[in-house]
């Protein structure tokens, strides 16, 4: 297999070590997923969001910053879904930058969920946009999700950026959606599944980005909606931080991800989006209080399920 040529390590603290420190300090493995939809915002923020992209972007930014204030004691980071900001054009991307800065100032790690992938100069541009230090400033985010199904050359520029700048990448391996079986569960000639081969590549790519806590800055996305796959993924990628979407609105529970934590308390992260940020739509409470209560509950339950 081709090794990723990431170049020399020049950054300070590696992403995986920052994750481990945050998990230990907060006794939490939770990321809040910031997926703002103007039509679902609290009535006090909705206002004229229908009138212009600028108004919608401003309301979404205020919503996300308010959520950060509410849940920061209970989570280690924010997983910001780029699609909802991109949908609002330039105003939306300005809002994304505002929310990222606000969450970082609150002490949270920032994961941009963009599932980026391409080859050559395009992949390098994605790396430059999100993962590289520029002109002495910090990278835009701490980590980015990527789609490795284009092959090694599509992720090599991202991993090289991680090595230079101390950032991280989470590669899609076994995703939480029901249609993932259409490709990821196909059988190879030796009986393994397609996603097993991708998992082995991810483990290989991350071998030289392992920090002092024994975890790699090249992580993997594995759906909590497939508990058996979670255990298989941990076996195939013992040093990877697993990102486990699916708890909450998609139906998975903390018990479904217990096997992900056998490599340590920081060896998996659980992003929770709708069940936290729209909790107010269920119980009718103040949206900040509802989000804080749900984040606190999930923090306790996931920590307990992890066994640490």
Element (H, E) at 81: strand 77-81
Contact (CB, 8 A) for 16 and 216: yes
Distance CA 249, CA 226 (A): 14
Distance CA 250, CA 234 (A): 21
Contact (CB, 8 A) for 140 and 97: yes
Of 26, 79, 115, 289, the active-site residue reads 115
Query: Is 115 labeled as catalytic in the residue annotation?
Result: yes
Give CA separation, 133 vs 12, 72, 127, 139, 140, in Å.
Answer: 12, 25, 10, 5, 8
Q: What are phi and psi of 173, to 5 degrees?
A: -120, -65
Geometric angle at alpha carbon 97, from 67 and 169, rounded to 5°: 90
Distance CA 170, CA 198 (A): 12
Distance CA 115, CA 95 (A): 19
**Exposure string (b/e) for 211-241, b if CB count within 10 Å is 16 or more?**
bebebbbbbbbbbbbbbebbbbbbebbebbb
Question: How many residues in the chain?
Answer: 308
Q: Catalytic positions, please? A: 115
């Amino acid at each position: 297999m081709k090794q990723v040529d990431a170049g020399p390590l020049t950054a300070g603290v590696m992403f995986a070590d920052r994750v481990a420190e945050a998990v230990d300090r907060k006794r939490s493995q939770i990321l809040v997923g910031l997926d703002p939809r103007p039509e679902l915002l609290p009535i006090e923020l909705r206002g004229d969001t229908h009138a212009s992209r600028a108004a919608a972007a401003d309301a979404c930014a205020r919503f996300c910053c308010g959520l950060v204030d509410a849940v920061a004691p209970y989570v280690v980071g924010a997983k910001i879904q780029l699609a909802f900001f991109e949908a609002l054009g330039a105003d939306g991307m300005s809002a994304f930058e505002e929310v990222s800065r606000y969450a970082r100032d609150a002490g949270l790690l920032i994961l941009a969920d963009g599932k980026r992938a391409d080859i050559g100069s395009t992949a390098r541009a994605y790396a430059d946009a999100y993962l590289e230090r520029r002109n002495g400033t910090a990278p835009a985010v701490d980590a980015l999700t990527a789609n490795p199904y284009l092959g090694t050359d599509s992720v090599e520029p991202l991993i090289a950026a991680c090595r230079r700048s101390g950032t991280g990448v989470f590669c899609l391996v076994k995703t939480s959606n029901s249609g993932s079986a259409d490709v990821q569960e196909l059988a190879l000639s030796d009986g393994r599944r397609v996603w097993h081969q991708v998992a082995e590549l991810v483990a290989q790519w991350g071998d030289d980005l392992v920090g002092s806590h024994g975890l790699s800055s090249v992580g993997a996305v594995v759906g909590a909606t497939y508990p058996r796959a979670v255990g298989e993924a941990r076996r195939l990628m013992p040093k990877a931080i697993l990102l486990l979407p699916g708890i909450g609105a998609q139906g998975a529970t903390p018990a479904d991800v217990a096997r992900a934590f056998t490599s340590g308390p920081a060896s998996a992260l659980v992003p929770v989006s709708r069940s936290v940020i729209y909790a107010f739509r269920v119980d009718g409470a103040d949206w900040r209080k509802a989000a804080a209560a749900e984040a606190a509950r999930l923090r306790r339950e996931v920590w307990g399920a992890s066994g640490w």
